[in-house]
């Protein structure tokens, strides 16, 4: 019952996180699109631009002021709770999944880092990430957007590599995403909202607003827009072990992030020209290349370590099944015995040799090509057992 209730708590928290995240991302995408598509040729000197749009059966007329209207409108909508709710639910989800059972989900098997220290490093990295990012944005690099982006990317790559030295692949990815998300919500809380409050305060006081603050707020809003797609990938990366489970997982994350930023830049600039349209086919090509270089190779008898039992004799279906039963069936069964699961993760059940053969490719990718499973290697699966299982799969997974 405890596992069942925990699963539903996880579901509710994840659902809320996705909902508020969509609201935040949607607002970010929309307002950047709006800013880029304003008609700047307006006669009113107080207006920076306007846009006519049709949606949902109605026609809308939107105007943006250069700074602010002469008087405060009676109803003014603020966009902030979407960002705050996304960050709060994200940290709660990170804590629920990775911190409550850090030895299994957060840390690599055999890591010398104590669970509590791993949690402290994870939480501390969120604060450090914002501090470094904010310093970069206030440094002379703020006048060179491309160079700032490169330095920030290198910083995140360093974090990703550092996390991967003691965290599981999934945990490392999610912590990079949490660091980026903290940067984004920090922009909202520390930069964008104060600028907006200053603007509104000046209107109410009848004074001239400081144009530098809204300008900086707009810049940080654009940063958030470009950081969004890498975060979205990280959010769904847990379904793709060939990325986070690869020995070069930090490099894969870098490649996918560059692709994401390039595609986002194309969509942010296509209203002016199509000169960045090359980003779309380049992204497709890059994905194909990354899929090719990360593809697991099935070993032959010659490539299995000569010191392993798998190299000396052929592996039977009964031997392979025994390995899976020992190390996998506690979770991947019609009736899991593992306390953390009330149902088989991903719906994968290995209760029969036929089922094991049917899912052999997924078993191979997560237990042989990488050591993602068993979780935290809590069952103590040996390299010799992984080699035997790999040999049986490479030889055709014969069950006769």
- pLDDT of the residue at 399: 85
| Contact assessment for residue 137 and residue 187, using Cβ atoms and an 8 Å cutoff | no
Asked if residue 243 and residue 362 are part of one domain, the reply reads no
Asked if residue 159 and residue 112 are part of one domain, the reply reads yes
- Closest CA relative to residue 260, chosen from 224, 229, 221, 236: 229
Domain extent for 348: 309-394
Q: Which of 157-166, 196-205, 340-349 shows the lowest mean pLDDT across its residues?
A: 340-349
- Read off the pLDDT band of 312 (50, 70, 90): low
Asked if residue 320 and residue 281 are part of one domain, the reply reads no
Kindly state whether residue 72 falls inside one of the protein's structural domains.
Answer: no
- Listing DSSP states for 167-188 in one string gives B-HHHHHHHHHHHHHHHHHHII
- Read off the pLDDT band of 168 (50, 70, 90): very high
Distances (CA, A) of 361 to 54, 289, 392: 49, 20, 12
| Length of the chain in terms of residues written | 400
| Contact assessment for residue 61 and residue 77, using Cβ atoms and an 8 Å cutoff | no
Kindly state whether residue 274 falls inside one of the protein's structural domains.
Answer: yes
Q: 10 Å Cβ neighbour count for 84?
A: 15
- Read off the pLDDT band of 1 (50, 70, 90): low
- Read off the pLDDT band of 310 (50, 70, 90): very low
- Read off the pLDDT band of 309 (50, 70, 90): very low
Above pLDDT 90, what percent of the chain? Answer: 67
Domain final position from 293, 324, 343: 293
| 149-155, Cβ contacts within 8 angstroms, sequence gap of 24 or more | 149/226, 149/261, 153/254, 153/257, 153/258
- pLDDT of the residue at 28: 94
- Global confidence as pTM: 0.88
Kindly state whether residue 109 falls inside one of the protein's structural domains.
Answer: yes
Domain final position from 231, 264, 293: 293
Kindly state whether residue 52 falls inside one of the protein's structural domains.
Answer: no
Kindly state whether residue 317 falls inside one of the protein's structural domains.
Answer: yes
Asked if residue 373 and residue 346 are part of one domain, the reply reads yes
pLDDT tens readout for residues 143-162: 999 999 999 999 999 999 99
Would residue 303 be called left, alpha or beta, if left means φ above 0 and alpha means ψ between -120 and 50 degrees? alpha
Highest mean pLDDT among 74-78, 180-184, 380-384: 180-184
Asked if residue 237 and residue 144 are part of one domain, the reply reads yes
| Contact assessment for residue 38 and residue 49, using Cβ atoms and an 8 Å cutoff | yes
Cα–Cα distance between 370 and 351 in angstroms, integer?
A: 22
194: preceding bond cis by omega (within 30 degrees):
no
Cα–Cα distance between 276 and 171 in angstroms, integer?
A: 34
Give Cβ neighbours of residue 113 (< 8 Å, ≥ 6 apart).
Answer: 107, 121, 166
Asked whether the predicted pLDDT for residue 69 surpasses 60, the reply is yes
Kindly state whether residue 53 falls inside one of the protein's structural domains.
Answer: no
Bridge-based pairing of strands 47-55 and 58-65 is antiparallel
Q: Which of 10-14, 107-111, 113-117 shows the lowest mean pLDDT across its residues?
A: 107-111
Asked if residue 146 and residue 27 are part of one domain, the reply reads yes
Asked if residue 348 and residue 202 are part of one domain, the reply reads no
- Read off the pLDDT band of 306 (50, 70, 90): very low
Distance of CA 263 to the CA centre of its chain: 16
Asked whether the predicted pLDDT for residue 271 surpasses 90, the reply is no
Asked if residue 282 and residue 322 are part of one domain, the reply reads no
Q: 10 Å Cβ neighbour count for 167?
A: 25
Asked whether the predicted pLDDT for residue 307 surpasses 50, the reply is no
Asked if residue 202 and residue 90 are part of one domain, the reply reads yes
- pLDDT of the residue at 187: 98
- pLDDT of the residue at 272: 83
Residue 273 DSSP symbol: -
Total domains in the chain come to: 2
Kindly state whether residue 91 falls inside one of the protein's structural domains.
Answer: yes
| Contact assessment for residue 191 and residue 216, using Cβ atoms and an 8 Å cutoff | yes
- Listing DSSP states for 382-396 in one string gives -HHHHHHHHHHHHTT
| Contact assessment for residue 175 and residue 163, using Cβ atoms and an 8 Å cutoff | yes
Asked if residue 320 and residue 264 are part of one domain, the reply reads no
Give SS3 for 57.
coil
Asked if residue 226 and residue 88 are part of one domain, the reply reads yes
Asked whether the predicted pLDDT for residue 311 surpasses 80, the reply is no
Q: What value does the mean pLDDT take over residues 378-382?
A: 89
- Listing DSSP states for 211-224 in one string gives THHHHHHHHHHHHH
Residue 202 is encoded by which pair of tokens? 């000046």
Place of tokens 């907006």: 196
| Contact assessment for residue 294 and residue 246, using Cβ atoms and an 8 Å cutoff | yes
Q: Report CA torsion sign: 242, 247, 253, 256.
A: negative
- Read off the pLDDT band of 51 (50, 70, 90): very high
Asked if residue 326 and residue 178 are part of one domain, the reply reads no
Domain final position from 293, 318, 334: 293
Kindly state whether residue 254 falls inside one of the protein's structural domains.
Answer: yes
Residue 239 DSSP symbol: G
Cα–Cα distance between 144 and 137 in angstroms, integer?
A: 10
Query: Residue 48 phi/psi, 5° resolution?
Result: -80, -25
């Amino acid at each position: 019952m405890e596992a069942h209730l925990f699963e539903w708590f996880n579901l509710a928290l994840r659902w809320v996180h996705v909902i508020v995240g969509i609201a935040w991302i949607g607002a970010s995408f929309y307002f950047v699109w709006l800013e880029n598509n304003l008609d700047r040729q307006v006669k009113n000197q107080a207006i920076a631009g306007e846009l006519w749009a049709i949606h949902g059966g109605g026609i809308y007329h939107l105007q943006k002021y250069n700074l602010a209207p002469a008087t405060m409108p009676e109803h003014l909508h603020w966009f902030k709770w979407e960002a705050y709710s996304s960050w709060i639910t994200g940290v709660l989800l990170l804590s629920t999944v990775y911190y409550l059972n850090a030895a299994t989900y957060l840390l690599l098997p055999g890591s010398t880092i104590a669970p509590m220290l791993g949690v402290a490093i994870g939480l501390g990295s969120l604060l450090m990430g914002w501090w470094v990012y904010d310093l970069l944005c206030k440094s002379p690099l703020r006048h060179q957007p491309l160079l700032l982006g490169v330095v920030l990317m290198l910083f995140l790559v360093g974090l990703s590599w550092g996390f991967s030295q003691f965290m599981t692949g999934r945990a490392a990815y999610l912590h990079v995403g949490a660091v980026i998300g903290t940067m984004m919500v920090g922009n909202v809380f520390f930069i964008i909202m104060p600028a907006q409050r200053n603007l509104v305060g000046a209107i109410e006081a009848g004074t001239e607003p400081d144009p530098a603050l809204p300008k900086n707020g707009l810049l940080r809003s654009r940063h958030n827009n470009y950081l969004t797609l890498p975060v979205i990938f990280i959010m769904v990366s847990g379904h793709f072990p060939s990325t986070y489970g690869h020995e070069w997982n930090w490099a894969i994350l870098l490649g996918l992030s560059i692709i994401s930023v390039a595609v986002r830049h194309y969509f942010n600039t296509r209203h002016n020209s199509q000169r960045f349209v090359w980003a779309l086919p380049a992204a497709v090509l890059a994905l194909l290349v990354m899929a090719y270089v990360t593809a697991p190779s099935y070993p032959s008898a010659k490539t299995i370590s000569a010191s392993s039992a798998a190299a000396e004799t052929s592996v039977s279906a009964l031997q392979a099944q025994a390995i899976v039963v020992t190390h996998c069936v506690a979770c991947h069964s019609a009736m899991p015995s593992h306390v953390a699961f009330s149902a088989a993760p991903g719906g994968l059940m290995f209760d029969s040799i036929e089922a094991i053969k049917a899912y052999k490719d997924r078993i191979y990718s997560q237990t042989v090509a990488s050591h993602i499973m068993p979780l935290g290697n809590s069952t103590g699966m040996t390299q010799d057992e992984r080699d035997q299982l790999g040999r049986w799969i490479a030889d055709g997974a014969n069950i006769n």
